[in-house]
Amino acid sequence: MKINKHIEIVRSNVVRLSSMSQDSCDAIFAVLTRHYSRVGITTVNNDKDLQKLVALKPDLVFLGMKFVPSQGGARKIWLSELLDNAGIPSTGSAAPAHELEFSKPTAKRRVHSAGLKTSPFCVIKQGSLPSGNLGLKFPLFVKPADRGGGLGIDSFSVVNNFRELCSKIEAISKNLKSDSIVEEYLPGREFSVAILKDNLSEELIIMPLELIAQANAFGARLLSEEVKSSNSELAIEIADPAIKHKVGALAQNVFNALGARDYGRIDIRLDEDGTPHFLEANLLPSLIAGYGSFPKSCALILKLNHESMILHIVRLALTRDTRVLSDVIEKVGTNPLLPSLMPVLEPI
């Protein structure tokens, strides 16, 4: 029996705005139509499209994007905030967490202010170049301040001198029209930590994986745009319990410091001494089966397939309203979509 709820999946045709590909959208649509009475797809490219979405008054919006520019582009309209104000629940985090996570420098500042480890950094504005000593030690790592998916990360992202630094900053400014975040390079192993709220206990399930990219021409293993788009990185469970504990604990603390909820991904890298440092967060990570570290973590660690993962995310959002929870339980029983996940994992 399908649950009598109307769910709208929301994405954008504007690449810069969408966190969800068309293939991912279609796969989520296929899952939800098997379980819910009405499922639609709304494309939001501007604020007028957003008003049309609100007018539909769905029971839930499955977010595949975070914001649209206001008319004239003077500010960002955060979807989860507008939907909250309209009384429409949405999947994932609330607007303040999305706003923090979207800007990598802002996220790092919040994490640092919470007393958590992140590499020292500075920001170089688009169209500018550093004028002197940045107070950072080479080698440095340079990436766009507000792009995801490895965009702008390549073999030249690790810079060893001032000339290389300026060259990479110029490339980001010209090609991506973005500020650059410059941080001290962390040479150690890299990890991605998927976080998913348990549907019964309301505890966070922490799922750390090690990501291993093939070494580039300079010997560095980077999750570049090319590596991420080709899905060529190796994702493995962490064998060392001490490292697993440290990485998982930092990820959970970062998730909480950003004010995130329900699900997301936290990226971490070790320094030369093996100490984990926060890199960046993604609170709308890829949900394509077999692609991206969040679905891989769910599959490897929780043995959770794509359909169960999507249904779990939806249920977390729907059951924030106790009236909806009662309706779901009436339709499908006290354990509607999947059992409690917490016993699967050792506590951190």
For the chain, give every domain's residue range: 3-90, 120-184, 190-309
Rounded to an integer, what distance in angstroms lies between the CA atom of residue 11 and that of residue 25? 8
Q: Profile the chain (348 residues) by mean pLDDT over runs of 10 residues.
A: 96 92 96 98 95 97 95 88 97 96 95 98 95 92 87 92 96 94 96 94 95 84 81 90 97 98 97 97 94 93 96 95 45 38 34
pTM for this entry = 0.90
The pLDDT value given to residue 124: 96
The pLDDT value given to residue 336: 36
Q: Would you say 276 and 250 are in contact if contact means Cβ atoms under 8 Å apart?
A: yes
Residue 54's contacts (CB-CB under 8 Å, 6 or more residues apart) are 82, 83, 86, 88
Classify residue 203 by its DSSP letter.
P
The pLDDT value given to residue 326: 44
The pLDDT value given to residue 201: 87
Closest CA to 226 of 155, 281, 295: 155
Tokens linked to 48: 């007028």
CA 245 from chain centre, in angstroms, equals: 21
Tokens linked to 160: 């060893």
Closest CA to 149 of 221, 224, 235: 224
Tokens linked to 12: 């954008």
The pLDDT value given to residue 89: 97
Task: Please give the CATH architecture assigned to the domain spanning 190-309.
Answer: 2-Layer Sandwich (3.30)
Assign a CATH topology to domain 120-184.
Dna Ligase; domain 1 (3.30.1490)
Classify residue 214 by its DSSP letter.
P
The pLDDT value given to residue 321: 61
CA 47 from chain centre, in angstroms, equals: 23
The pLDDT value given to residue 104: 94
Rounded to an integer, what distance in angstroms lies between the CA atom of residue 76 and that of residue 78? 6
Closest CA to 139 of 184, 189, 190: 184
What φ, ψ does residue 39 adopt, rounded to 5°?
-135, 130
